[in-house]
């Protein structure tokens, strides 16, 4: 596992900040868009979801940016990594599919970057990491836990999975250029 840069940070910010983020994402003021299929898997791996794009390609897309970006910066400050340039913030709420199968194996962006996945709620629907898309050998797995952020090298193949025991699985996905601790 040492060859893969994956870091799980539990209770990544204060409890007050964790509660605030959860309240904001659950607010009726947060704008969600229905996506008929969050994956590229077609009919075999169909997975409906709700998404909230906050930031992309230098453009603030909605007001959730103003509470999500400070979250990333606070986690960076507390854990000695550096956010040089933000690429994307997107929140996804996957719906219960009553199946344990994971979604499409992928990387998020086509350029070198770091990914931060923040879980605002406890849920099932693990994020699964793989050695490659072709080989699909599982190398690591993390379950959504309120207030946890997972940082990893954006070149690592991974896949979400839908919840089975909860109604939704929510994750805030940050893509950014930055420096890991001790680099």
| d(C-alpha 124, C-alpha 113), whole Å | 26
| Cα gap 27→170, rounded to integer Å | 14
Q: Rounded to the nearest 10 degrees, what angle do helices 65-79 and 15-26 cross at?
A: 160
Tell me how far apart the alpha carbons of residues 161 and 42 are, in angstroms, rounded to a whole number.
15
Say what the pLDDT of residue 44 is.
Answer: 60
pLDDT in tens, 107-147: 888 899 999 999 999 999 999 999 988 888 999 999 999 99
**75-104 confidence digits (pLDDT tens):** 999 999 999 999 999 999 998 877 777 888
Whole-model pTM: value is 0.93
- Domain CATH code at residue 129: 2.60.120.620
pLDDT at 1: 42
Structural domain that includes position 44: 6-179
Q: How sure is the predictor about 50, in pLDDT bands with cuts at 50, 70 and 90?
A: very high
Q: Considering the domain boundaries, does residue 1 fall inside one?
A: no
Sheet holding 127-130, edge to edge: 138-142, 127-130, 157-159
Domain count along the chain: 1
Residue 124 lies in a domain: yes
Q: Is residue 99 part of a domain?
A: yes
Could you tell me what percent of the chain has a pLDDT over 70? Answer: 93
């Amino acid at each position: 596992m040492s060859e893969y840069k994956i870091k799980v940070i539990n209770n990544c910010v204060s409890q007050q900040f964790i509660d605030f983020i959860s309240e904001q994402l659950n607010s009726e003021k947060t704008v969600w868009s229905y996506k008929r299929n969050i994956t590229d898997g077609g009919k075999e791996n169909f997975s409906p979801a709700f998404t909230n794009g906050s930031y992309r390609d230098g453009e603030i897309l909605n007001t959730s940016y103003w509470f999500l970006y400070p979250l990333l910066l606070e986690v960076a400050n507390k854990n000695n990594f550096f956010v040089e340039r933000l690429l994307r913030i997107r929140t996804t709420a996957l719906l219960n599919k009553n199946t344990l199968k994971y979604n499409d194996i992928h990387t998020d962006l086509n350029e070198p970057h770091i990914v931060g996945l923040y879980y605002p709620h406890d849920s099932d629907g693990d994020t699964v990491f793989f050695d490659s898309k072709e080989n699909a050998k599982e190398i690591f797995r993390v379950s959504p836990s309120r207030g946890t952020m997972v940082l990893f090298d954006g070149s690592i193949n991974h896949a979400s999975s839908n919840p089975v025991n909860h109604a939704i699985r929510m994750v805030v996905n940050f893509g950014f250029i930055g420096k890991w601790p001790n680099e």
